[in-house]
Amino acid sequence: MNYFVIVYYALLIGGSCLAAYFKRREIFLALFSLTLASFVMGIVGGQDALWAVSIAAGLLALAAGTAYAFREFLVIISGTETAKALRTAPLTASFGMFVIFTYAVLGIFAPVIAPFGEAEVISQSFAPADENMLLGADQLGRDLFSRIVYGARNTVGLALVATMIAFVIGVLLGMVAAVKGGWFDQLMGRIIDVVMSIPGLIFALLLLSIFGTNLIILVIIIGLIYAPRVFRLTRAVAGNVVVMDYIEAASLRGEGMWYLIRKEILPNSTAPLIAEFGLEFCFVFLLVAGLSFLGLGIQPPTADWGSMVRENATLISFGEITPLIPAAAIALLTVAVNFVVDWMLFRSSGLKE
């Protein structure tokens, strides 16, 4: 028994007693079951296990604190309407926004933030971290930290462009199909059915084997693979709008198809479409990362998170966690986007289970 263990249990038990006193049943249950679990973990894993729990709890508290502060910050700097909506955002959503904001800053200001260039060899391969290099060097002796910063620009940028292509194609065709109906709608529906019955990664691999791994081709292929999903959603959403009276009024007024799509249908289906953009971005991002990991995406020497994991994977067998950082960066962004999307879907649907 040392001070750490005593303080650890005192905090947990004190916290659960307080929660019980103030009738916060859920917090009490969580804290007390954590206490009970700690007994077992302390016996099996010793003090290290308890340290791990404390560190995890500390990180969680830090994330929650950051999320809370960021939400308040957004509420203060935004206008009244937006502030009202933001105030109801759950902590997970504001945490997601904070992460997205950080990634955007990293990506946009990459050359300023990164201490070295993305292809600059400055040291020996797999050199350990020192005062020059925050995370050490990669397999060719390039600064890993700088490459991660540049990766935010390259990987996320590529995924964003591909998502936009998928979106432009999907939304446009979906809207036209909803307005026109008839044979065009049927034909598009059948084509989409076929394309969607091929798994995305497999389809991407097939096309890449044929056209080679050129960056522009990569973006177009990924955009085309995910366009059908956007098409389906747009067709469904727009299908509900098209039957409205004001659409009929507009078309009786003699407005053309483009006017209907631009001025009537699009403004009335933005909420689900924006949420879908977030979801779609996650899928595209994971596909891009997967392809790069397989060596078929963004080609070296351009820094990219997926291929960085693969190139430095040998370090893992020495118990190093540095190769996992780019992978964790991918996961973090995807989770963040999902958090925000969850909140937006909740808001737009008004669903309260």
Q: Which residues bind another protein (CB under 8 A)?
A: 26-27, 29-30, 92, 193-194, 197-203, 205-211, 282, 286, 289-290, 293-296, 306, 309-310, 313, 316-319, 321, 323-324, 327-328, 330-331, 334-335, 338-339, 342, 353
**Distance between CA atoms of 16 and 23, rounded to whole angstroms?**
10
Rg (CA), the chain: 25
Q: Distance between the two ends of the chain, CA-based, in angstroms?
A: 47
By C-beta, is 29 or 236 nearer to another protein?
29
Which CB atom, from 292 or from 302, has the smaller least distance to another protein?
A: 292
Least distance from C-beta 85 to another protein, angstroms?
Answer: 21
- CB-nearer residue toward another protein: 9 or 203: 203
326 neighbors 308 (Cβ within 8 angstroms):
yes
Contacts of 291 (CB under 8 A, 6+ apart): 201, 204, 205, 208, 218, 297, 306
Beta bridge partners of 121: 142
Nearer to another protein, 50 or 335 (CB): 335
Minimum gap (Å) between residue 313 Cβ and another protein: 7
CA angle 93, 95, 96 (to 5 degrees): 65
Nearer to another protein, 60 or 108 (CB): 60
Q: Which is nearer to another protein, 269 or 307 (CB)?
A: 307
> Whole-number minimum distance, CB 353 to another protein, in Å?
7
Supply the minimum distance, in Å, between the C-beta of residue 331 and another protein.
4
Report whether 280 contacts 230 (CB < 8 A): yes
Residues 117, 89 contacting (CB under 8 angstroms) = no
Smallest gap from residue 336 Cβ to another protein (A): 9
Least CB distance to another protein at residue 106 (A): 18
Shortest distance, CB of residue 7 to another protein, whole angstroms? 24
In order of 235, 295, 300, 321, the CA distances from 328 in angstroms are 35, 19, 20, 10
Closest CB to another protein among 40 and 206?
206
Neighbour count for residue 31 (Cβ, 10 Å): 20
**With contact defined as beta carbons under 8 Å apart, do 176 and 184 qualify?**
yes
